[in-house]
Amino acid sequence: MCVNSCCAFVGVLENETKCKFCKEDRYYSNGKARKNLPFTSIIERLKLQFKNPERSKELLYRHNYTCNKGEFAHNNIGDIFDRQIYQELLNDEYFPDPRDIAFTASCDGYQIFRQKTDDCWVFLFLNNNLPQELRVKKENLMVTLIIPGPKQPQDFNSFLYPLIQEMKFLQDGISCYDGNKEEQFTLRANILAWTGDIPALLKVLCLTGHNSYSGCRFCNLRGTLNETNRHVYYPL
Ligand SMILES: [Zn+2]
Ligand SMILES: [Zn+2]
């Protein structure tokens, strides 16, 4: 990635030797990259988890929850799987295998340096196939990608590239070993929902931000410029 965190050298930028935003060199003179993107594979971690018989059983929570929901519980929201969107995905033949994983992805900006803007972006995956009491435990949160900053990324999407590649593999299905059933199977995983703070979601959705004229992610309401302090507002 660029030494100033402008972009990751992936996809169409794969062969670049200079950052197209800040013109900094990608490599040292000895050919080594000046900065690497911190990324941890989701696929490898899922494979490791399914290999373990105990964990493999725990990962059946989604299946067990949706199968054992009583008649009375039908209109109650007890978990993410009670939302209509999950039912719609089931109708579209997503999650055919009890082991298929439903993720919640989150992206948040963190201020870890003494600056006023968000400077470090963390992508975290929550595995909804785990029971609720285990799901948000520190050891079960899957940090997959960190955009380290301290400068604002210029091409935010380029950093997502390795993550999107893995999710594409997981959508089609990968070969995985189930330590509980002692069999090889095709594992699929999909993202059920994205969460995050507003500045982060704006970046994921390629929006311009809450100080711009078209800052809303739901409608086309246009902001007005306050001449005195040169800020765009949404007076309501
Ligand atoms: Zn750069
Ligand atoms: Zn709006």
Tell me the CA–centroid distance for residue 111 and ligand 2, in Å.
27
The ligand whose atoms approach the alpha carbon of 152 most closely is 1
pLDDT at 230: 78
Burial of residue 175 (number of CB atoms within 10 Å: 0-12, 13-18, 19+): exposed
Residue 233 reports pLDDT greater than 90: no
Tell me the CA–centroid distance for residue 25 and ligand 1, in Å.
8
Tell me the CA–centroid distance for residue 230 and ligand 1, in Å.
28
Higher pLDDT, 67 or 164: 164
Tell me the CA–centroid distance for residue 26 and ligand 1, in Å.
9
Residue 232 reports pLDDT greater than 70: yes
Q: What is the mean pLDDT of the chain?
A: 87
> What is the rounded CA–CA span in Å between residue 120 and residue 112?
7
Tell me the CA–centroid distance for residue 70 and ligand 1, in Å.
55
Tell me the CA–centroid distance for residue 88 and ligand 2, in Å.
26
pLDDT band at residue 44 under the 50/70/90 scheme = very high
> What is the rounded CA–CA span in Å between residue 206 and residue 221?
17
Mean pLDDT of 208-220: 72
Contacts with 201 (C-beta within 8 Å, 6 or more apart), sequence order: 107, 194, 217
Tell me the CA–centroid distance for residue 169 and ligand 1, in Å.
29
Here the ipTM equals 0.73
Mean pLDDT of 90-96: 90
pLDDT at 214: 72
pLDDT at 112: 66
Tell me the CA–centroid distance for residue 8 and ligand 1, in Å.
9
